[in-house]
Structure 1
Amino acid sequence: MKKHTDDIPLPERRPDRPVTVMHRIELGLVLMLSGFFKILGLNGASFVSGKFLRIVGPLIRSVSMRAENNLRKAFPDWSDKQINATTKKVWENLGRTAAEFTHLEQLKPNLPNGRVTITGKDKLDDLVTDGHFAIFFSGHFANWEVIPTAFESLGVDQSFVYRAANNPLTDEYIINRRGKVMSRYQIPKGKRGSRALLDTLNKKRSLLMLTDQKLNSGISVPFMGIPAMTLNAAARLALKYKIPLAPVSIERLNGARFNIQFHDPLAFTPSGDLNKDIYDLTALMNLAIEKDIRARPGQWLWFHRRWPKGA
């Protein structure tokens, strides 16, 4: 089993934004909240933060309306009551996830507290033992931070791709916090992380990516039945390196308890037409994520602009 080590250097905070006074104030608030969540403990922090955002979140209309509009696009037969109820669940899940970030040490599989259970461990073992490696993908479900935490706890040699926070000081805080419980091989999205991405696979280290957010780059592929710009790097790399591409699901069970499910790799036979294969494989990835969204719509992060305006 791979051991966690502090000898591996972490990525630097984002270098493209100068630190401002507001950045320092924001970091101060983040640290204050983190201290408050530590005092409350995991259960208390998750409950209080979740209930707070369940009430306050829908009042932030610019954000909440985006989720409501996205839900109407994805579920055109839903009533306003269903839309509003699901939006509240999304806000609560986000609040819980934010508070649980302070307590990730307690959100590992194989701990006596039993907060994180694993389904399909044999499927994971088939993909990462005896020198094998794979690309794993998921989305912003439940508490998505628990997935890379679980990988590290299970001894999987892997890197994960992340989106840098807008505030460089907060970005540094998050990187360091993750480095204590997750792989220290953290790869920022975009050009800054491209070299590390290739280095990971050249060294036969597995890769974890969240592929459900809209990008200005990528390719337009149906998502929930609507064309959407989609990250195609996972499909492209899987085809290039001829390695499995496997979905990972996470479900919030009750409060701060989760189940992670490992699935079989996507069944796909390349046609030889690279562009077509990338498109078709990316479409299969979207279908896998869509399946989890439809099963638990209140646990997916509906707040980002997933589809083009007017779609």
Structure 2
Amino acid sequence: MTVGRRESFIKRLESWAFHAYWHRISAMSLDQASNAGARFARKLGPFTSAHQTARYNMRLAMPRITRAEERELLDAMWDNLGRVVGEFPHLSAMHFFEHNSRVEIEGLNILDRYVGAKNPGVFISGHFANWEVMPAAIVKRGVDCRVTYRPANNIWVDDTIVKARADYGVRLFAPKGPSGGVSLMRILAKGGSVAMMNDQKYETGVEAPFFGHLCKTADGPSRLAYRFKAPLQTMTVARLGARAQFKVEVQEPMLMAFDTPIDDAVQASVLRINQFIETQILKAPEQWFWVHARWPKKAWQDAGVID
């Protein structure tokens, strides 16, 4: 079997496994799927390489954490991540802005500033709790917003994810290269908003401290905000207990120093965003996406967190 055919076979096998699980949890109720996802992730997660990544990241960000606290936090993290997967096909069951909603929103008056008016904003957040709740809340409220995302490596899996998000009104956009950046600028120029995650590694971003350790951070949101004199609108979501119940917070937006040179303004903005993300993580560390390689391996080595 050639390399190309072998890769295709593996991708199809991945797709089959994903869709088998997807159809199973889709047939459940929201709470059943959330609980099933948690049980599955708590059993499987510790045997993956991502578990080790999460452990080192936690030690780097929280150097005083004890081994007992670390084990407890890792288990709670897998519980949350499993729930995210289980809840994904059921976002319409959250009943946004209805009397039986699973989502309460603090700062709704701030979000409403972007409804109907041609006042673009650059929405930024991180992978907190069930992060899919945030873009759903934005678009369900009537904000004209395009949500950026990184496509899944498997095209068949990605297609299902995109369709699922479209079912609850989220229009996705995967910016690639210079043309992607131009497309984002066109959206903002027409008065639309864009939403981005700003808490993961971005190889071509700027270097800035995150929990006291330098790492590459996306500067795109800050550059777009500077270009269009737009606010950086932060939002966060928290899971309320071990269930599919959430609280979304819409904070007062960050405004950049538009009268300073762009590179200086962007560097200051990236640092401020990182500090904001740090603060939010420490409020509920078990609800953040620790499994991503946020810092370079050298940072782990220098901090002595590797076993």
TM-score (norm 1): 0.89
Of stretches 192-201 and 274-283 in structure 1, the one that deviates more from structure 2 is: 192-201
Query: What is aligned with 2:152?
Result: 165
Contact 1:19 1:169 in 2 (8 A): no
Q: Deviations over 1:22-81 (max 9, x none)?
A: 222222222211221122211011011112212321122x21111010000000011011
Q: Secondary structure at the match of 1:217?
A: strand
Measure, in 1, the Cα distance between the counterparts of 2:138 and 2:253: 17
- Following superposition, the deviation at residue 267 of structure 1 comes to 4.1
- Following superposition, the deviation at residue 19 of structure 1 comes to 7.9
Contact 2:115 2:142 in 1 (8 A): no
Query: What is aligned with 2:142?
Result: 155
Measure, in 1, the Cα distance between the counterparts of 2:217 and 2:122: 16
Query: What is aligned with 2:246?
Result: 258
Measure, in 2, the Cα distance between the counterparts of 1:247 and 1:138: 6
TM-score (norm 2): 0.91
Q: Deviations over 1:135-181 (max 9, x none)?
A: 11001111111111111211111001101100111111211221111
Measure, in 1, the Cα distance between the counterparts of 2:148 and 2:256: 23
Aligned-partner residue type, residue 26 of structure 2: K
Measure, in 2, the Cα distance between the counterparts of 1:131 and 1:171: 31
Of stretches 282-291 and 18-27 in structure 1, the one that deviates more from structure 2 is: 18-27
Contact 1:220 1:228 in 2 (8 A): yes
Q: Secondary structure at the match of 1:98?
A: helix
Query: What is aligned with 2:303?
Result: none
Of stretches 125-134 and 299-308 in structure 1, the one that deviates more from structure 2 is: 125-134
Measure, in 2, the Cα distance between the counterparts of 1:172 and 1:52: 24
Query: What is aligned with 2:302?
Result: none
Q: Secondary structure at the match of 1:220?
A: strand
Counterpart among 173, 181, 187 of residue 187 in structure 1: 173
Of stretches 113-122 and 173-182 in structure 1, the one that deviates more from structure 2 is: 173-182
Aligned-partner residue type, residue 97 of structure 1: V
Unaligned residue ranges in structure 2 (runs of 5+): 1-5, 300-307
Matched, 1:284 2:268: no
- Following superposition, the deviation at residue 271 of structure 1 comes to 4.7
- Following superposition, the deviation at residue 108 of structure 1 comes to 4.0
Residues 244 and 128 of structure 1: is their aligned pair in 2 closer, same or farther, counting only changes over 3 Å?
farther
Query: What is aligned with 1:297?
Result: 285
Matched, 1:133 2:134: no
Identity %: 33
Measure, in 2, the Cα distance between the counterparts of 1:119 and 1:138: 15
Measure, in 2, the Cα distance between the counterparts of 1:283 and 1:108: 36
Measure, in 2, the Cα distance between the counterparts of 1:245 and 1:166: 29
Measure, in 2, the Cα distance between the counterparts of 1:126 and 1:261: 15
Q: Deviations over 1:87-134 (max 9, x none)?
A: 111111111101111101112421333201111001112344532121
Query: What is aligned with 1:50?
Result: 38
Counterpart among 54, 79, 84 of residue 97 in structure 1: 84
Unaligned residue ranges in structure 1 (runs of 5+): 1-17
Aligned-partner residue type, residue 114 of structure 1: S
Residues 202 and 36 of structure 1: is their aligned pair in 2 closer, same or farther, counting only changes over 3 Å?
same
Q: Which runs of 4+ in 1 moved over 6 A?
A: none
Matched, 1:270 2:268: no
Counterpart among 185, 190, 193 of residue 206 in structure 1: 193
Measure, in 2, the Cα distance between the counterparts of 1:195 and 1:238: 14
Contact 1:115 1:257 in 2 (8 A): yes
Q: Secondary structure at the match of 1:298?
A: helix
Aligned-partner residue type, residue 77 of structure 1: R
Measure, in 1, the Cα distance between the counterparts of 2:183 and 2:170: 13
